[in-house]
Amino acid sequence: MPKFIIEREIPGAGKMTQADLQAISQRSCAVLRALGPQTQWIESYVTDDKVYCVYIAENAAAIKEHAEQGGFPANRISEVRAIIDPATADQ
């Protein structure tokens, strides 16, 4: 299944407390359970004013549905076309 990077603009995201992050995570997981196993949240990276999330899903529409049901912004949804790392240089 395709992998996606979701950019969420959330002013002050980097200042959220652990309790805030836990509550958002719980809401996200509840929506994912309701949507079914075809959409999976892998991990997220919190920066000052944005959260970047990695998901596996059938398509971008599934990501949008998750965002709408959870009340999360999904300002940009980008499908991952390739993955590279330092080992790629040695190939």
pLDDT, the chain, mean = 96
Q: Look up the pTM and report it.
A: 0.92
List beta partners, residue 7. Answer: 52, 76
Residue 59's contacts (CB-CB under 8 Å, 6 or more residues apart) are: 2
Written as one letter, the residue type at 14 is G
pLDDT in tens, 1-51: 999 999 999 999 999 999 999 999 999 999 999 999 999 999 999 999 999
In angstroms, the first-to-last Cα distance of the chain is: 25
The domain 3-82 is classified under which CATH number: 1.10.150.120, 3.30.70.3090, 3.40.50.1240, 3.30.450.40?
3.30.70.3090
User: Residue 91's pLDDT is what?
Assistant: 80
Residue ranges of the domains in the chain? 3-82
> What pLDDT score was predicted for residue 28?
97
39: how many CB neighbours lie within 10 A of its CB?
19
pLDDT tens per residue, range 43-74: 999 999 999 999 999 999 999 999 999 999 99
